Structures are given as structure tokens and as C-alpha cells.
Amino acid sequence: MAKKDSNQHIAILQDIRKKLFKPVYLLMGDESYYIDLICDAIIANALREEERDFNQTILYGADVDDFALVVNAAKRFPMMAEHQLIVVKEAQNIKGIDNLSYYLQKPQMRTILVICYKNGSLKNKKIIAGIEKIGLVYESKKLYDSQLPAFINTYVTAKKLSIDPKAVSMLADFVGNDLSRLSGELDKLAISLPEGSMRITPEAVEQNVGISKDYNNYELLNAIVAHNVPKAARIVNHFEQNPKNNPLVVTISVLFNFFANLLLCFFSADRSDNGIAKELNLRYPSQARDYLTAMRIYNAFKCIDIIALIRQYDARSKGIGSGASSNDGDLLRELVFKILYSPYQK
């Protein structure tokens, strides 16, 4: 059966560590992080070190002319081992994948065949159905921006560390949903922590990742919620002077997500810290306080107006509509000004 939920990789990894292998794995999709994670786990667990010389073959799409070569390799019997492992990386670059359908009719059950198909999904329904009957198909999809904080917290917790919510926001905004890069930055932060320290702070992120702890989307949002106009203006000016590190598209996304969530808060039956956290699937009740503060400044109708305003400026930043020729700094300054004064406008 196809595994399409990004959390399903946990169950797959558990089976691999228990050495419960499938004869064929198809790991495909736009998010390479989970494909590599599962593939690396299979390589680490399928064979003992002394078995690998004769029973492990790793093929790369750039070096394989036709999938018939993969099929021929998979048909071999292992030598003095329970399994042989065939890993095909960059399988999307290999022609003749139709040849796999014949192998699937009578697979070599002592072969573990792992096909890594990146930057998209295999569209051949016959092959997918054939693999699902005997093996596993896993589709690795890009995470939404709203899912990044959960990924960061889970990754850090697995290392028996904790991370400040502001540090989470800084990393999510700066790195985005490139999970391979994001996990690399988290690994770097974990290694760089002072001896005895178990928490990743905004200061650590600033020092090791190169993100300012004072000038970032988290602080801009904080300034808007607190209606701190001077602070918001300073951050907007910094963003304008450092556009590569502070792309407008990311800032607009952060603002949109906040006010879209804020709108949900107005319809929540429980407006306590715990109630809002549950409504928005926040990890900690303390993260709800910005929303509770904003609810005292904005109402649901103003929130709807602001969401429409953000959509308008998003379109203008992409060259659509009036004022489309304005630069990103001017657009952000206008947008933030209008959001800040929206509650006081009739």
C-alpha cells in the first residue's frame, strides 16, 4: 500500500530497524530528505559489514543506460548472506523503467531493491500497483511552511535537546522547507552548543546560522502584534537593506499565516491559552499569547480586511495590479503601515 503521509516514514524506519524488509521499495517525490533518510536506513540495516562487498550494489541514474541492468542485478542470488541489496539512486534519469514490470511478476525474494525516484513521482500506474502488491511505495511530499515548526521541534527533541520558539521561527523563515538544509543547520547548532547546554537559543542561531535575532520575521510580527511602530519601521528598513536574507515572499507568507490563524481564533469556543493552542495545533500554550494579544487589537472583520490586503500586496510583489512596479522595500513598508493602522481606521 502506498505511503503518502509524511509521518509514515516513522513506521517504515521502525520496520527497517527491526529488519523487516520488503523485496522492493519505491521512494519517490519532491522532498528528497525523507527519501534519503529511508534509503540510508536500509543501507545501514540490510547487511552486515562483512556481507557488503559481494551483496551490496549502488547504481546511479547517470551511469545506467537502461533499467534492464537494474533488473538483471536484482535477479542474482546473494552470496553467503540472507539478502543482497540493490540501491538505485536518481532513478528518474534511467530510461526503460517499463522493464521493471516483468521483474515484479516474479521477484527475487532474497533481493532488497530500493528505487529512489526524486524531483517528482513515477506516473506508471502498472509499476506502482505491482510494487504495492509485494513491496512499498512511499511518496515524499514537500512540507508546508506551517509544518516546519513541528519538524524542527521533533528533530531537536530526538537529539534530547530543546529549542526556543523564537529560534524555531528564525530557522523556519530563513531556511524554508528545504529539509536537508534545515536538518544540517540543526545538526550544526547541536554540535556548537556550549558544554552542558541543552537548549538552542536565538543567540545560537544568530551566531551559527547568520540570522539576526533582532531583525527577522518573528520580531516583525511581534512588533505588529504589540503595535510597536518604531520597532516595525527599523525591521522593515533592515529588510530593505538586506533583501537576499529577507525575501518579501517569505515575510508575506508569515503575515498571511498569522492573520489566517488569528481569524480562526475569533471562532474558537475556548479562548484560553490552552484552547487557542489546541485550535491552532500549537506545540506550547505559551505560543498562543501573541494571538490573544492581537485579538485585543483587531476584530474578525479587520482581520478579514488585512488578509485581503496581504493578498493584494502579494500580487503586487509578483507584478500584478496597480503599483506593481514598486520595489519590495516600498511594498513591505506600505503593507506593514496599513496593517498597523488598520484597527484605528473606520
- The interaxial angle of helices 229-241 and 328-341, nearest 10 deg, is 170
Task: For residue 255, give the H/E element and its range.
Answer: helix 248-265
User: What kind and span of H or E run contains 104?
Assistant: helix 100-105
For residue 252, what pLDDT is reported?
94
Listed as ranges, residues in the chain with pLDDT below 70 are 1-6, 284, 322-325, 343-346
What is the predicted pLDDT for the residue at 289? 86
- pLDDT for the residue 6: 53
Segments forming the whole domain that contains residue 184: 145-209
**Number of structural domains found in the chain:** 3
pLDDT attached to residue 341:
86
Measure the CA–CA gap between 136 and 106, rounded to whole angstroms: 16
Indicate the burial class of 291 (C-beta count within 10 angstroms; 0-12, 13-18, 19 or more): buried
The reported pLDDT for the residue numbered 144 is 85
Give the pLDDT score at 278.
87
How many Å apart are CA 207 and CA 346, to the nearest integer? 44
pLDDT tens across 21-64, in order? Answer: 999 999 999 999 999 999 999 999 999 999 999 999 999 988 88
* 200 & 248 share domain: no
The cell for 269 is 469556543
Judged on CB neighbours under 10 Å (0-12, 13-18, 19+), 310 is buried
What pLDDT does residue 1 have?
Answer: 43
Q: Write the pLDDT tens digit of every residue in 186-234.
A: 999 999 998 889 999 999 998 888 888 889 998 999 999 988 999 999 9
The CATH number for 338's domain is 1.20.272.10
pTM: 0.75
pLDDT value for 343: 67
Instruction: Indicate if 221 and 162 belong to the same structural domain.
Output: no
Domain CATH code at residue 60? 3.40.50.300
Measuring CA to CA, which residue among 20, 24, 16, 29 is closest to residue 132?
A: 24
